[in-house]
Amino acid sequence: MAANSGEAQSAPSAVYEYRQLNCEVYAEIKFETVTFTDVDDHEPGSCDTAEVYYTLIAYPAESKQFWSMDNTFDMDCGTYIFDRMAVGSPQASIGDNYDTLIAPIDPANPSVTIWPFLSDEDDIFGGVNDHLCSVATVIRMPYQNWANYSKKYSLRCGEGVTSSSGFDAEGYIEFTVKGFKAPPGGP
């Protein structure tokens, strides 16, 4: 009698554990566009041409860097699609998704820190480059809410970022954040 009652109690928890192990939660961060309404690179007029390299960060996902100080991407005023900006960059072969990062959500710290950072290269200042545009935000919510989360963000250059030298472009960065479930080990 005692053994039967013990079995009856353990069955439900075994089922619960099985389901938990077969589902982890991830966030997909898709960097959509960056729009510049003004760019200052010490040239005449209000929409200068910046020589750009940039890093897409969505911690705890692995960050992606495109272009470099030696190999930059020209940008002036207008809207640029991150997926297209990366084409031609030496780093663009690292994956098909040039604009998307996948972050595993940690139940103990269910947050994602999003921080795209665009820099302007300046030969004339001896390698001291300018901050062109960046935004930063931490998205945090209860773990169980992440799987169904979906939101589009539009943040102004400089929003959420502390920088002593400021930013040389005015504009905004748009990105979407979507939660989903996938088997352990990654989607």
CB of residue 158 to Ca ion, shortest distance in Å: 16
Q: Are 101 and 61 in contact (CB under 8 A)?
A: yes
The tokens describing 53, both together, are 């390299």
- The residue among 78 and 187 lying less far from Ca ion, judged by its C-beta, is 78
- The residue among 39 and 56 lying less far from Ca ion, judged by its C-beta, is 39
- The residue among 41 and 99 lying less far from Ca ion, judged by its C-beta, is 41
- The residue among 54 and 175 lying less far from Ca ion, judged by its C-beta, is 54
* Interface mask toward Ca ion for 26-65; x: CB under 5 A: ---------------x-x----xx-x--------------
Residue 108 DSSP label: T
For Ca ion, the binding residue among 24, 99, 130, 174 (CB under 5 A) is 130
What is the number of alpha carbons within 13 Å of residue 116 lying toward its C-beta?
Answer: 29
Q: Are 120 and 132 in contact (CB under 8 A)?
A: yes
The tokens describing 9, both together, are 């109690």
Instruction: Count the site residues for Ca ion by CB under 5 A.
Output: 8
For 171: left if phi > 0, alpha if psi spans -120 to 50, otherwise beta; the answer is left
Residues 98-127 that bind Ca ion (CB under 5 A): 120, 122
* CA atoms of 32 and 53, how far apart (whole Å): 17
The binding site for Ca ion (CB under 5 A) comprises: 41, 43, 48-49, 51, 120, 122, 130
